[in-house]
């Protein structure tokens, strides 16, 4: 029988964080992290199949039903620190991770920084962030400064129906996504506004990163992971267009890599049962 979910909220010192929970408290403790501009509903299709797992899927700050950070408050390490505060609130000294895209990158940062606290890490079509070298830092910072100045002039779109917001997500996303998958994410990502609907998402999340890891920085986090680590790569996902990224992934011999036909949101689309089966086997193997 599929596992049902319920809502959860965390009143952290600096922000309110929302999430969804599947499973029973006695199961393997797992914190699940969604991708950029998505939310906890990204795990709706796979979480009910993960028997023996107590899965807490977060709306990361700025996303879904969670609060927004103060000005210029978003970074991979800030988001990772919030995840750690959630674990503290849950009383979890050690826990496992499940991340998609940006959530997978955050998982890699946490698992590489605090290897003694991470039981295992499963990543879906994501592992390391976009990188740039030191000489690019001034240009990257300039992009960030200029974008912050323009942020106040931008207004969120307002849709007169949820269906139009779903269409906007399908047509305007950074990666292809099916309508059903978009609908699951949009439902949690909208709020009423001026007689219609607009995004709950913090506009600051659209700002470019002020700083990026170098390749060496990014690799060092993954190299420092000691917990069992499973990576599910989408054959038609974001990485298949970047052979140099795939080559870097292949160099990490301590990762177990599964390649699955599907797009970037494969865990929320047709390959979802296959992804769920891989993750179920992975988490079961830990016991």
Give the residue among 9, 117, 41, 46 at the shortest CA–CA distance from 23.
Answer: 46
* 8 A C-beta contact, residue 217 and residue 133: no
d(CA 22, CA 52): 10
- As to burial, measured by CB atoms within 10 angstroms (0-12 exposed, 13-18 middle, 19+ buried), residue 22 is buried
d(CA 150, CA 148): 5
Give the residue among 246, 194, 228, 186 at the shortest CA–CA distance from 38.
Answer: 186
d(CA 280, CA 32): 14
Neighbours of 162 (CB within 10 A): 14
Neighbours of 139 (CB within 10 A): 10
Determine which one of 5, 11, 49, 101 is catalytic.
101
Catalytic site residue 287?
no
In the chain, beta strands by DSSP E: 5-11, 16-22, 28-33, 53-58, 95-100, 118-124, 190-193, 196-199, 229-234, 255-260
d(CA 8, CA 10): 7
User: Looking up tokens 């179920």, which residue turns up?
Assistant: 280
Neighbours of 134 (CB within 10 A): 7
- Annotated active-site positions, please? 101
């Amino acid at each position: 029988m599929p596992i049902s979910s319920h809502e959860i909220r965390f009143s952290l010192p600096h922000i309110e964080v929302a999430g969804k929970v599947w499973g029973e408290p006695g199961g393997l403790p797992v914190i699940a992290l969604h991708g950029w501009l998505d939310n906890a509903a990204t795990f709706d299709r796979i979480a009910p199949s993960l028997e023996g797992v107590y899965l807490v899927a977060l709306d990361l700050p700025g996303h879904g039903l969670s609060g927004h950070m103060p000005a210029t408050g978003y970074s991979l390490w800030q988001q990772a620190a919030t995840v750690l505060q959630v674990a503290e609130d849950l009383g979890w000294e050690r826990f496992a991770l499940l991340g998609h895209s940006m959530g997978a990158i955050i998982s890699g940062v946490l698992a590489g920084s605090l290897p003694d606290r991470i039981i295992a890490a499963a990543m879906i079509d994501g592992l390391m962030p976009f990188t740039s070298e030191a000489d690019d830092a001034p240009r990257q910072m300039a992009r960030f400064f200029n974008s912050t100045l323009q942020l106040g002039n931008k207004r969120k779109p307002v849709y007169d129906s949820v269906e139009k917001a779903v269409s906007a997500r399908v047509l305007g996303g950074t990666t292809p996504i099916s309508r059903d998958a978009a609908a699951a994410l949009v439902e949690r990502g909208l709020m009423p506004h001026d007689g219609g609907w607009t995004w709950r998402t913090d506009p600051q999340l659209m700002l470019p990163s002020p700083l990026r890891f170098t390749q060496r920085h990014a690799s060092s986090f993954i190299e420092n992971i000691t917990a069992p680590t499973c990576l599910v790569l989408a054959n038609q996902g974001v990485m298949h267009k970047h052979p140099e990224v795939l080559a870097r992934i292949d160099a990490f011999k301590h990762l177990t890599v599964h390649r699955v036909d599907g797009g970037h949101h494969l865990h929320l689309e047709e390959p979802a049962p296959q992804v769920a089966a891989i993750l179920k086997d992975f988490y079961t193997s830990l016991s």
